Chain A
């Protein structure tokens, strides 16, 4: 067997080990149902990707639902029956640990401690400059975000100089 084949097999093994190391759920230890129901996707996935409930704690979701008429600068209000249904769904899929800052529920997923921790390895070129992308545009890197999957396996960082 030529020497370079050994090298190839070796790097393959390293790559596989690396893949295994990253194969854990991206949302460390959170194995709650994704529950992207048709209603949820319709109501909460028209203007942005439908964020799985496990991204925020229950108190955060309640605060978000209480302010839908002024939802980050836009009116995202729903009727009372829909609101009740969304509240039930998010209560059952919310992150088990509350997402708070200074004792107040965090409203932006990007400000949750777990999120900042998971994204602290994002390369500097994606944080500022011509290639910068917003941390809130999940789909720029998480190719399966629309389906509620954020595993490292489907993660692709945009290439240098490629328009998003």
Chain B
């Protein structure tokens, strides 16, 4: 009986792990991490996220270099020229629904733009801004 419960629990958590998440879930997880990283964490700011997204942080590139100044429009890889699907969830519902993918791309792209990893605060600010955008993309 107890083993049965245990097995169900394991199966249930496995199912939960592969369940597609929503951008709000990803933001909530980032908030938990941010609180862990900094006890004085006081929430995310869309305004700060927009500034962060457009800043070059002392290097050659910003997030906007490839994702475009309007993340609801299609971006363009600055090295290869390949099209990049819109980053804002309103324009592309697949964005920020897979935690592993979010983790992978923040890791890679923060290294490229900032030459370091981004804090949970920074990631959450950017996501808060992206989530605040409505679907009216500028073409």
A residues contacting B by CB (< 8 A) are 46-49, 69, 72-79, 134, 136-137
Interface residues of B (CB under 8 A from A): 77, 79-82, 104, 107-109, 111-112
Residue pairs across A and B with Cβ atoms less than 8 A apart, 29 shown, are A46-B82, A47-B77, A47-B79, A47-B80, A47-B82, A48-B77, A48-B80, A48-B82, A49-B82, A69-B111, A72-B79, A73-B79, A74-B79, A74-B108, A74-B112, A75-B107, A75-B108, A75-B109, A75-B111, A75-B112, A76-B108, A77-B107, A77-B108, A78-B104, A79-B104, A134-B81, A136-B80, A137-B80, A137-B81
Interchain pairs with CB closer than 8 A, number? 29
In angstroms, Cα B111 to Cα A77, docked, is 10
Interface majority SS (helix, strand, loop, mixed), chain B: helix
A74 to B77, CA, bound (A): 11
Nearest residue (CB) in B for A164 is B81
CA–CA, A136 and B81, complex, Å: 10
Q: Which residue of A lies closest to B77 (CB)?
A: A47
Nearest Cβ distance between residue A81 and chain B, in whole angstroms?
Answer: 11
**Nearest-CB distance from A48 to chain B (Å)?**
4
Residue on B with the closest CB to A77?
B108
Task: Give the chain B neighbours of A72 by CB distance below 8 A.
Answer: 79
A79 to B101, CA, bound (A): 11
How far, in angstroms, from A74 to B107 measured CA to CA in the complex? 11
* Nearest-Cβ distance from residue B79 to partner chain A, whole angstroms: 7
How far is it, in angstroms, between the C-alpha of A49 and the C-alpha of B79 when the chains are bound? 12
